[in-house]
Structures are given as C-alpha cells and as structure tokens.
Structure 1
Amino acid sequence: MGSPQDSDPAIAADPAIALRDAHAVLGAREVLRGVDLTVRRGETVALLGANGSGKSTTIRAVLGQVPLTDGTLELFGTPFRRFRDWKRLGYVPQRSTAAAGVPATVREVVSSGRLARRKLRPLGSADKDAVERSLELVGMADRAKDPVDALSGGQHQRVLIARALAGEPELLIMDEPLAGVDLASQQVLARTLREQVGKGSSVLLVLHELGPLAPLIDRAVVLRDGRVERVENPDQLHDLACHPHGDEPAPGAETAPKIETGSLT
C-alpha cells in the first residue's frame, strides 16, 4: 500500500522514527547490535523474528525504556534527548491486564490515555469525545461502564488499544498486539489500524506472524540476533509467516533475498 511520503519529500525527510546503529545491553548481554530502523509518516512497519531476536527491545529503545549504549534515535526529527512531545505517541504493551489490578471501568482506563494531553486538568468535552470515539472504534462502547476485570483477554487488548488511540497519537507503537487474542479481536484490530493509517498515523508493530494485519503493512523488518536480517514487502514473507519462531524452511523452499543491514531507508 502507498504512503504519504511517496509524494511529499518534506515528510520523507522527517520520519516518525529514525533509529541508527542502535546498540543496547540488558544485564551482561548485548541485545541490540547495530539495528537501523526508519518509520516514515503514514507508514506501517512490522518487526518480525524469532523469540530473543531483539524485537521488543527495539520497541523499548524507541520509547526510551532501554537506553542505547551506542547509536542515535530521533522522533519526528528531534534527537531523543530533546524530545518532550509525548502526546504524539501511543503505546500498547505486550498482553497485560488493562488496569493492573486496580479497580476501574473500561471508560476510566481509556480516559487515562488523555493524560499526556491534559496533565492533571479535568477532561474537557474534546477529551470525552476522543474517549468515546476510541471505544466505538474497538467495539467496546457497550462495555464502557463495566469493570475491566470482567473482560476476556481479547477485550482487555481492545481496551489497551482504545487507551492509546484516545490520545490521538501520530505514531502508534504496539508490542505483539495479536498474541493470545481471538480472531474476532484480531479483525477489530485490523479495522482499527486501517482507520488510523487512513488518517495519516504511523504504526510500528511487533508481530510473530502477519495474520489479518498483512494487508496494512508497508514493510516488514526481520530481526535476527539483535541485527536486521532483511527488509521485505509483506507479500514476500510467506516463509517467515509459516515459521514465526525461527524454524528453518523446508528443504528446497524458496527464501527471499537478504537486504544489507544498513539499507532500511
């Protein structure tokens, strides 16, 4: 699918994420070993690879949760150390309970997604409208008054997505949003992302397999041992989709050509 940057050089020069030669250490182990990653405006990029390949660490590095030991990171053209405009980002973490054990309704959890915009001020009419739109978008408006601990796993994930969308982010980052989620919720997620991308949002996803999100993805970046192994059009990734945990393709299976680590953009 095309993206706005195809026709606007100014947008192409100012990507949502520009990660260059990123190195990061967890404990005593170097987890990222020179990752390059660009997410342009209006583009959807999937990070794929085996368990332990560095996908979630890359996401956490972009969010500043894991410090880089080497390399550079820019968000919307601003060096990370100077970036303060966090309301432009929305984050959906790996599968977890939406309220983390704190009694709360669905609407209360989703409303917390407006905090980056409102700070400690009460929600105004625009905030409430954004919350209601997000609930409608993920199909949870009819459960808005329900406690989140009464929800299924797939519904929890929808609430986390609605919370991120309530902030009206320009960049949406999601870590394994399909993990353990039923097919109906996967299809809701695909529809939701299609609408967000249609509005010009950029999306970075960690996935084990493309599933119903495949038609939305512009580029798939395959990580292996903390490095970029290849960058592909999703149509060329039938082999990885069949072997999401790093299994080797069957003998004689066609493999897509590798792309050099430094050639992401």
Structure 2
Amino acid sequence: MISTADSDQARRPLLGDAAPAAVCLRDAVASVGGRPVLRGVDLTVRPGEVVALLGANGSGKSTTVKSVIGSVPLDRGDLELFGTPFSRFRDWRRVGYVPQRTTAASGVPATVREVVSTGRLPLHRLLPFRRKDREAVDRALAAVGMLDRASDGVANLSGGQHQRVLIARALVGEPDLLIMDEPMAGVDVVSQQLLAEILRREVERGCSVLLVLHELGPLEPLIDRAVVLRDGCVAHDGPPPRGVGQHALPGHDHVHPHADDDHHRSTTRGLLT
C-alpha cells in the first residue's frame, strides 16, 4: 500500500540532483557542555526535499540542527550548505531558522512587526528598510495569520502566536532552506494545520525543509524522508515511520513506527523509544 507521504512525493518531484544539496553533513561529531551528543551523524537535504529529524528526547535532534546553523561547532566531520564548505559559507539570507518554542523577543519590548523585520537584516545589513522590505514583512505576517497583530507587543501574545511570529521571521527573507526545531510543540491543532499549509507553499516554490519533530501529525503528507536518531547516531534514513492510533495524536511524546512489511518493521521498530 502506498502511504500518503509516498503518494505526495510521487506527485511532487524533487528538483533533481543537478543542484548541490541544501545540507550535506558527514560523520558529524559534536559535544554540548563537554558531553558527546553526536557520534558520526550523516544528513543530506536535497533541493526541494522535506526531511523530518525524529528520535527520542536526548537523541541529538536539536544538536544536529544547531550544528547545521553553526551554533554548536563540530568536533569532527564535514558540513556544506548549498555546496559551500561551512567555513566559507556567508549567504545566510538563504537560510531561515525557527528555534525551539521560546518567547519571540526574549524579554525585549518589541512589536510583532519589529521582530519579524529582523529576518530581513541578512539581505541588506544596516541599510534603511525599503518598501519591498515592508511588503515582505506584511506577506510573512499574512502567511501566518498575524498581520492584524503587527502593531501589538509580543509580550501580549499566546505561546502559539509567539511561534507564528518566529515562523514569519524565518519566512520573511524567502529562504531556500527552512530549518524548524519542534515547530509543533505545544501548539493547537489549528496552528499545526496552518503550519502544514505554510510549508506546502514553501515547498511548492522550491524551498528545502529540515524539521525536528516528535510526531508527524498534519505534516506527514509533506515529508519525503525521515532520519531517525538514536543515542547520537542515525538509526534509520528512509520512508517516514507511520504513526497510528494514539501515537499519531498531538501531545504524544514520540512517533513509534508501524509498517506493513517485515523489512520495515525490523529496521525501524523501537528506534524512537
């Protein structure tokens, strides 16, 4: 039986192998606070591909994406972004990043529009904002359903609204690679469905997406490939494990794989627990 994700991938071909991968991480070893976390992770995200990074708490998912954006340095391994070695990569306007759920302004008084506008800075550094920048901010806010709250202080927003602001900040530069660390954690079903629609539009314009997830939920039809981490190593790289029953419900802590064929069961059983 063809899964929803498989059929969606068949309808939406990737951009091909001619362009370099958006992310190419090889034999990545990294530590946090002196504690080894990644133990030789390989991760590739091709142009136009949606990759879900799955695994139990402490498996290394967030450390992996932080290594990709450079906030956790590699002890060993190689990283390229869009075919450029990380040490020489400067084109950060091509990368949009949504961190784990946090307050949008980290305690600094700011409006929704001001926070989202910071996502345009890599495009023109300290030059004054222009009309096209303001229009881009409006488009990003409209995409996440927050245009009517543009002048409100972020301190007055709910947790789900904070998350929408962070997503808009990542979208405002129209990135070629969108990285999201647990974007569905703690948000309601309506916000999850909105996120799925946002990602669908981004993928349609050719954006590559790397997602850290605990459950696939409404994003499942968009996901081309799942990389499952266990104890800092890649335990599975292939078709997304299917969550069923209670495992597929929002709020369930992990996705547990269930498959129809014996091979899939033997290679993915228990990887996320």
Length-normalised TM-score, structure 1: 0.89
- Distance in 2 between the 1:27 and 1:106 partners? 34
Question: What residue in structure 2 maps to residue 242 of structure 1?
Answer: 247
Identity of aligned residues (%): 63
Question: What corresponds to 1:201 in structure 2?
Answer: 207
Unaligned runs of 5+ in 1: 260-265
Quote the RMSD (CA, aligned, Å): 2.3
1:153 and 1:4, CA in 2 relative to 1: closer, same or farther beyond 3 A? Answer: same
Shift of 1:248: 7.6
Secondary structure (helix, strand or coil) at the match of 1:97 reads: coil
| Structure 1 match to 2:158 | 152
| Structure 1 residue 258 displacement after superposition | 2.3
Q: 1:232 to 1:239 in 2, by over 3 A?
A: farther
User: Measured at CA, do residues 120 and 218 of structure 1 come closer, stay the same or move farther in structure 2, by a change above 3 Å?
Assistant: same
Q: Give the aligned residue type for 2:242.
A: L
Q: CA deviation at 1:241?
A: 8.3
Answer yes or no: is 1:9 the counterpart of 2:17: yes
Please state if 1:163 is matched with 2:169.
yes
Q: 2:5 aligns to what? A: none
Does structure 1 residue 90 correspond to structure 2 residue 99?
A: no
Equivalenced residues, count: 253
Q: Where does residue 263 of structure 1 map in the other structure?
A: none
In the aligned structure 1, how far is the partner of 2:160 from the partner of 2:178? Answer: 19
Query: Which residue of 130, 138, 153 maps to 1:132?
Result: 138
Gaps of 5+ in 2: 1-7, 269-273
Shift of 1:128: 0.9
Contact 2:216 2:255 in 1 (8 A): no
- SS of the residue 2:113 aligns to: helix
Tell me, yes or no, if structure 1 residue 258 matches structure 2 residue 263. no
- Asked if structure 1 preserves the Cα contact closer than 8 Å seen for 2:56 and 2:230, the reply is yes
The alpha-carbon deviation at position 40 of structure 1 amounts to 0.4
Q: One-letter code of the match for 1:62?
A: V
1:239 positional shift:
6.7
Confirm or deny that 1:28 pairs with 2:34. yes
Q: Secondary structure at the match of 2:18?
A: helix
SS at match of 1:9: coil
**2-side partners of 1:200 and 1:249: how far apart?**
29
Q: 1:106 aligns with which of 81, 103, 112?
A: 112
Cα distance change, pair 248–178 in 1 and its aligned pair in 2 (3 A): closer
| 1:247–1:132 Cα change, 3 Å | closer
Q: How far apart, CA to CA, are the structure 1 residues paired with 2:227 and 2:51?
A: 7
Using the size of structure 2 for normalisation, the TM-score is 0.87
CA distance in 2, matches of 1:241, 1:38: 30
Task: Give the direction of change, closer, same or farther, for the CA distance of 1:247–1:203 in structure 2 (3 Å limit).
Answer: closer
Which residue number corresponds to residue 55 of structure 1? Answer: 61
Deviating more after overlay: 69-78 vs 121-130: 121-130
Q: Deviations over 1:55-95 (max 9, x none)?
A: 00000000111111111000000000010101100000000
Task: Kindly state the Cα deviation for residue 257 of structure 1 after the two structures are TM-superposed.
Answer: 3.8
